[in-house]
């Protein structure tokens, strides 16, 4: 086996081992309640949802650049606390100009 291929194989193995041994955050470290963690586990993420989220972020980014009121709402939204899913939804619902970019279901 050529030397370069040999080195590539060993480098790939080393990277794979590092990823396998990296500690993953547990549900207890997430900061959410067990009920919220159960909701997260039950949520099915698909390509359509990801694409709608990306479209919402893009629309919000463009709107922030053209509308100062939306930019101010976004700044105040970012500074609010939220420790549960219900609090995060309530926080977003207090800023209708921002939540309009996302179809937030309650």
Residues 62-95 have pLDDT tens digits of 888 898 888 888 888 777 777 778 888 888 888 8
Kindly state the tokens that stand for 58.
């893009």
Cβ pair 94, 78 in contact under 8 A: no
Contact residues for 54 (Cβ-Cβ < 8 A; gap 6+): none
Residue 83 within a domain: yes
What are the C-alpha distances in Å from 106 to residues 27, 51, 89, 93?
23, 20, 7, 9
Structural domains counted in the chain: 1
Residue 103 has what pLDDT? Answer: 59
Residue 67 within a domain: yes
Residue 106 has what pLDDT? Answer: 40
Residue 106 within a domain: no
- The CB-side HSE value for 99 (13 A sphere, CA atoms) comes to 13
Domain range for 69 is 3-99
Kindly state the tokens that stand for 94.
């207090």
* Per-residue model confidence as pLDDT tens digits over 6-37: 566 666 766 666 666 565 555 555 677 888 88
pTM: 0.54
Residue 37, burial from CB neighbour count under 10 angstroms (0-12, 13-18, 19+): middle
Residue 105 within a domain: no
């Amino acid at each position: 086996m050529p030397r370069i291929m040999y080195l590539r194989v060993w480098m790939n193995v080393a990277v794979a081992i590092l990823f396998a041994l990296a500690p993953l955050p547990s549900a207890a470290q997430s900061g959410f309640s067990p009920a919220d963690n159960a909701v997260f586990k039950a949520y099915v993420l698909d390509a359509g949802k990801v694409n709608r989220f990306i479209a919402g972020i893009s629309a919000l980014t463009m709107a922030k650049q053209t509308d100062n009121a939306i930019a101010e709402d976004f700044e105040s939204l970012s500074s609010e606390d939220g420790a549960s899913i219900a609090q995060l939804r309530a926080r977003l619902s207090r800023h209708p100009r921002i939540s309009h970019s996302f179809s937030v279901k309650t």
